[in-house]
Homo-oligomer: A and B are copies of this chain.
């Protein structure tokens, strides 16, 4: 029997409840329009200090939306009543920098000193771009945004160091100013681009070969525009060889009660 494509969910707490009981395990992209979604990084409290310092020193790739109390799985400010251990569709568990398993929940891997950090995601400003009639190519093509490791080093903190990761969206030249203006309104979610044009200036040799995500078409008259990417803190935390780390699975985000509108400056 054929299964219908899942309908677009509207209500964050209803979607989280479906996820919690195992009735929804796909990407959260496109669901709950208007509401912010977040990347999840969970570290032991001891390392979470350095991670917060890293985020403070690198706010564009690491826009922290909430830091949960040690051991507390409830995002009391951004999604009261939710549980970061069960309310995302899929997780990754890392030990000593190696992927240990993909998991449907974090109940068995949770610890008393687990500090969950919720980090803003570019879904928020993409809604702003679309509302301003700026095309977003990877959404048009139904693929994942192109992401690149750059030659720009983040400011290190404790054991955390590594290159800035950026996303790229090709923007028609006359719309570049608008794309900058619109995304600058979301400083809590990566904000304005870090670079416009000139991939070589970021140390990117081939736009057609992203390090993560899918390549997208850059058409004549379009300029590649680069934004700081929330993959940066995950990549950096992973490279730090943390003895223990939990994250969401790509595209399976924490859907918050906070709206994109709330995150506008």
Q: Which residues of A contact B (CB under 8 A)?
A: 45, 48-49, 52-53, 56-57, 64, 66-67, 69, 77, 155, 157-158, 187, 265
List 5 A-B pairs, Cβ < 8 Å.
A48-B49, A53-B67, A57-B66, A187-B187, A187-B265
Q: Which residues of B contact A155 (CB under 8 A)?
A: 77
Q: Which residues of B contact A45 (CB under 8 A)?
A: 49
Q: Which residues of B contact A64 (CB under 8 A)?
A: 56
Which of B69, B157, B265 is close to A157, meaning CB atoms less than 8 Å apart? B69
Which of B69, B157, B158 is close to A158, meaning CB atoms less than 8 Å apart? B69
Q: Which residues of B contact A49 (CB under 8 A)?
A: 45, 48-49, 52
Q: Which residues of B contact A66 (CB under 8 A)?
A: 56-57
Cα–Cα distance between A214 and B265 once the two chains are bound (Å)? 32
Determine which residue in A56, A77, A157 has the highest number of CB atoms from chain B within 10 A of its CB, and name it. Answer: A56
Q: Which residues of B contact A67 (CB under 8 A)?
A: 52-53, 56-57, 157
Chain B proximity of A230: nearest CB distance (Å): 16
Chain B proximity of A118: nearest CB distance (Å): 11
Determine which residue in A45, A48, A52 has the highest number of CB atoms from chain B within 10 A of its CB, and name it. Answer: A52
Chain B proximity of A61: nearest CB distance (Å): 16
Known: A49-B49, A57-B77, A187-B265. 17 other contacts (CB 8 A): A45-B49, A48-B49, A52-B52, A52-B53, A52-B56, A52-B67, A53-B67, A53-B69, A56-B64, A56-B66, A56-B67, A57-B67, A67-B157, A69-B157, A77-B155, A187-B187, A265-B265
Determine which residue in A45, A52, A53, A158 has the highest number of CB atoms from chain B within 10 A of its CB, and name it. Answer: A53
Cα–Cα distance between A52 and B155 once the two chains are bound (Å)? 18
Cα–Cα distance between A134 and B37 once the two chains are bound (Å)? 40
Chain B proximity of A59: nearest CB distance (Å): 9
Chain B proximity of A34: nearest CB distance (Å): 23
Q: Which residues of B contact A48 (CB under 8 A)?
A: 49
Cα–Cα distance between A187 and B155 once the two chains are bound (Å)? 21
**Nearest chain B residue, comparing its CB with the CB of A192:** B265
Determine which residue in A66, A67, A69 has the highest number of CB atoms from chain B within 10 A of its CB, and name it. Answer: A67
User: Lowest 3 CB-CB distances: which A-B pairs, in order?
Assistant: A49-B49, A53-B67, A52-B52
